[in-house]
Structure 1
Amino acid sequence: MIVIVGAGPVGLWLAAELRLGGADVTVLEDRAEPDPHSKALTVHPRTLELLACRGVVDRFLDEGRRIPDGHFGGLDDRMDFGVLDTPFPFTLALPQARTEALLEEHARAAGAWILRGHRVTGLTRDAEGVTVEVAGRPPVRATHVVGCDGTRSVVRDAAGIAFPGTEATTWGWLGDVVLDDPPPGPVSVSGPAGGLMVVPLPGGVHRIVGGDPDGSRPGRPGALTLDELRTKVVAISGADYGLRDPRWLSRFGNATRQAERYRRGRVLLAGDAAHMHFPTGGVGLNVGLQDAANLGWKLAAVVRGEAPDSLLDTYHDERHPVGADLLASTRAQTALMTGHSPEGQALRALLSGLIADLPELSRTLAERLSALSVAYPAAGGHRLAGTRAPDLVLGGTRLFGLLRTGRHVLLDLAGGAPPAEGVTLHRGPLSVPHAHWAGVTAALIRPDGHVAWASDDPEPDSRPAVAGRWG
């Protein structure tokens, strides 16, 4: 049995992925009830693709609000997501509390055990497995343990995995409040007095989130009060929008850290337990779910005995660089968002204008923010190896539909590739041409939607690729 510590979005998605791969999994969560507060509000295009690859995306689309663009560092000119090569050319506004609820339904339906009120206090590793200590309860034995327990991860500390980085030097703030005089739509304001955004949430509540020059200091300020929030909002925007009845008031800092290793033997990390950063662009939840998508099929294959243990090393090798890039991007965006000085405002105006004037820059930033540009190192040298596969149209089906089984998919686009065991085989050409796939005759797609192998050979022999699909 695999134990996941933490029933946030990352732990729940990983649990479902492991069950799809045939592994027994138990999720241990400290909280007795789900967190009613929503740190994250945004689901990005690549995450929506992953949900589509498991047949559950419609549940999220039905509840969320589609936003056709996105901001980089809170700049006024926004990136156009409509030009992205994806069935989901938008971000989806959906509070994290609902995202978690939908993911929990999915994980439970897949057969995962989710035990709340189970506070993990430590773990002991040995050659055969891991013993997980739970406060006031008998210990739990596992083959592997995955820490999805946030930035203060007990699993990470117990495994002795270093979490180097920098302390917070600036602080932002947020309030989920009722507004008697709300703006007609989302608001974004930036100037010498600070910056803020006002975003409508379900249930007649608005989120006001922002930062100001007073937040640039070492050490955490005291608890945010409603009066302090009102003073900041008026100073920045000139109005308080009739804010009252706070549902949640909080501060957040720009402390930035990354786990030195995402794996230590039978212990692995995903999500905030592996990377910590300022919440710019709403990327944290999404990168965590993408961590889980990379790890899930690999860990399940190892536990089934179908893949070597070394396959788990590729989880670190592939996702650690993505985490490092995430931290670099959020640092850059933090500098823009906290650029309250005249020089900072000039830099913001310059970069904002470039996004508006240079479509390629806008597209590149959007592809990076949405994770559609993520590519993993891959052997074989083919231009597509390691890249994310788009939702190719294949006769009466599409690639994302073929990936719902959680198995590798072998695309025989030219005909003649030999059959293979243990993979989903599709024979037939693309029904709709795709520029990047011109000339491709066969490809092996991993369960997480990345290309494991591809060929332009008119008579491709896929047997070596299928035999070596575990890395």
Structure 2
Amino acid sequence: MDTDVLVVGAGPTGMTLANELLLAGVSTVLVDKLAQRGDLSKAGGVQSRTLEALDQRGLLEPLLATGDHPVTTGHFAGVPLPLHSNRHRLPWRSVPQVVIEGFFEQHLAAHGLHARRDHELVGLAQDDDGVTAAFANGATLRSRYLVAADGAHSTVRSLLRAEFPGQPGTVTITSADVRLGGAVPSTSHTWSEDGHWAALFPLGTDPQGRQLRRLVLGGPDRSLPREVPVTEDEIRDGLSTVFGTRVHLLELRYARRITNASRQVERYRHGRVFLAGDAAHVHLPLSAQGMNTGMQDALNLGWKLGAAVHGWAPKNLLDTYHAERHPAGAAVLRNVRAQSLLMDWAGTRDPDVLAAREIFTALAQLPEVQQHLADLTSGMSVRYPMPGTETHPLVGRPAPDLDLGPARLHELLRSGHGVLLDPADTFATVAGAWSDRVDRVGQGADTEPMLIRPDGYVCWAGADDLEPALNRWFGEPR
């Protein structure tokens, strides 16, 4: 074997996974077909659950130190969620994808992992022992496992001939990074009477301290083929249609067209090959969910691959990646389709759609509805299917951030181990056999007994027999 795990694609998903594998002590090769890292912002925000995961790895503070990344409120179908910024410990942050990639590139390099660029995958074969990957530059790599994080047009997915069902793109909108002048509105979404609309989101400031924004334009006559270049005149016309003379373009930095395609692979695992991020699911970039969902895929898969490489993975642990992340991805696709309908994304001005939106907007003023939607779009509503979910409300959910005396829970997860909270020292003896994989916190923890996986999810809680849960998630004892 040349490496334990080969990660194809050095975007946010691939880099997050590479970091998890490094933490797990697994040899990793990260490749990308691009000769150099892109400088396009693409995704524009990091959701609460992803921020928590970065905090659990000790990466959040240095990431936020890279620049101005303001806290902003979320939205659902263009309707603001004013409670979003107060709902979770770490509210939504405006951190563009280009910043995420640059940060991870430096972090991985500091730990000796450099992406091998100009590696375009052209061939893939797997057997009982590993995977062989061939590249256009003549290189070949042999690995125990391969993870496809190579985006919406995944080569790995194509080589696997993996089923990718869903809805094809029928309409396009325009997304651009801009500097604007004039009376820029504070609301995120603005509609005109004829169905044209504009959405604005902060992207922080440039080195000169000037405000950058993500501008999204849509409407009944703005759908052009994806390959047609976006021009400054097109952006100015879109601004004029929605805002009149109140807002004008100062600078266009980057623009692309986005379709409303909505697809998800039927299986996230194909033998020793796994699909993650946009290689596994594509959808409209609404509520900053795309990049975050991919990074959550990586966080779920990384520690499980580490367990498999080190030989202690219990039977079917790798299969839980599909069992847990496929439903989570499907839920994102559903809420995105609902949002695109309610916000009249295509600008149809259909009276039925407008009536539904009017009622939805009224409902969205209720705090309970706002909290539900905030949880839904931030990743905080995810509950993985696992034994115990029917008997304890915490099992399957992200662990609450607890003050355990000498440290907070999220700080203990930085080791990459599981964590057992055992406030009465009830389980010291039984847990000792897993001490190389699970760190136990005894007296001083003001909480009920709880077992937390390396990815920060509760996999057991309460007073029932602990040993089956340790075996299920952390393998045979030493």
**Normalising by structure 2, what TM-score?**
0.90
Once the two structures are TM-superposed, the CA of residue 425 in structure 1 deviates from its matched residue by: 0.8
Determine whether 1:54 maps to 2:61.
no
Once the two structures are TM-superposed, the CA of residue 215 in structure 1 deviates from its matched residue by: 4.0
CA distance in 2 between partners of 1:167 and 1:60 (Å): 35
CA distance in 1 between partners of 2:104 and 2:344 (Å): 34
Determine whether 1:229 maps to 2:235.
yes
Determine whether 1:23 maps to 2:45.
no
Once the two structures are TM-superposed, the CA of residue 349 in structure 1 deviates from its matched residue by: 2.9
Determine whether 1:382 maps to 2:398.
no
Once the two structures are TM-superposed, the CA of residue 180 in structure 1 deviates from its matched residue by: 4.2
Contact 1:176–1:207 (8 Å) recurs in 2: yes
Determine whether 1:347 maps to 2:375.
no
State the partner residue of 1:7.
Answer: 10
Select which of 307, 312, 318 maps to 2:313: 307
CA distance in 2 between partners of 1:186 and 1:200 (Å): 11
Contact 1:5–1:11 (8 Å) recurs in 2: yes
Instruction: Look up the equivalent residue of 1:426 and give its one-letter code.
Output: V
Once the two structures are TM-superposed, the CA of residue 338 in structure 1 deviates from its matched residue by: 2.3
CA distance in 2 between partners of 1:245 and 1:445 (Å): 48
Determine whether 1:71 maps to 2:86.
no
Contact 1:258–1:324 (8 Å) recurs in 2: yes
CA distance in 2 between partners of 1:262 and 1:468 (Å): 21
Q: What pairs up with 1:394-433 in 2 under 5 angstroms?
A: 394-418=404-428, 419-420=431-432, 421-422=435-436, 423-431=438-446
Q: What pairs up with 1:102-181 in 2 under 5 angstroms?
A: 102-181=103-182
Instruction: Look up the equivalent residue of 2:368 and give its one-letter code.
Output: E
Instruction: Look up the equivalent residue of 1:70 and give its one-letter code.
Output: G
Q: Secondary structure at the match of 1:242?
A: strand
Q: Which runs of 5+ in 2 are unaligned?
A: none
Contact 2:94–2:202 (8 Å) recurs in 1: no
Once the two structures are TM-superposed, the CA of residue 197 in structure 1 deviates from its matched residue by: 1.9
* Percent of paired sites with the same residue: 40
Change (3 A) 1:216 1:332: farther
Q: Which runs of 5+ in 1 are unaligned?
A: 432-436
CA distance in 1 between partners of 2:286 and 2:168 (Å): 17
CA distance in 1 between partners of 2:54 and 2:68 (Å): 14
Once the two structures are TM-superposed, the CA of residue 257 in structure 1 deviates from its matched residue by: 0.6
Cα deviation code 1:421-467 (max 9, x no counterpart): 22111012544xxxxx6xx3x1110001111111236xxx5334323
Instruction: Look up the equivalent residue of 2:382 and give its one-letter code.
Output: V
**Normalising by structure 1, what TM-score?**
0.91
CA distance in 2 between partners of 1:151 and 1:410 (Å): 38
How big is the alpha-carbon RMSD for the aligned residues of Structure 1 and Structure 2? 2.1
Contact 1:80–1:363 (8 Å) recurs in 2: yes
Select which of 442, 464, 469 maps to 1:465: 469
Higher alpha-carbon deviation: 142-151 or 123-132 = 123-132
CA distance in 2 between partners of 1:184 and 1:386 (Å): 40
State the partner residue of 2:38.
Answer: 35
Q: Secondary structure at the match of 2:221?
A: helix
Instruction: Look up the equivalent residue of 1:350 and give its one-letter code.
Output: I
Q: Secondary structure at the match of 1:414?
A: coil
Q: What pairs up with 1:253-272 in 2 under 5 angstroms?
A: 253-272=259-278
CA distance in 2 between partners of 1:353 and 1:64 (Å): 34
Q: What pairs up with 1:257-336 in 2 under 5 angstroms?
A: 257-308=263-314, 310-336=316-342
CA distance in 1 between partners of 2:250 and 2:306 (Å): 48
Contact 1:275–1:323 (8 Å) recurs in 2: yes
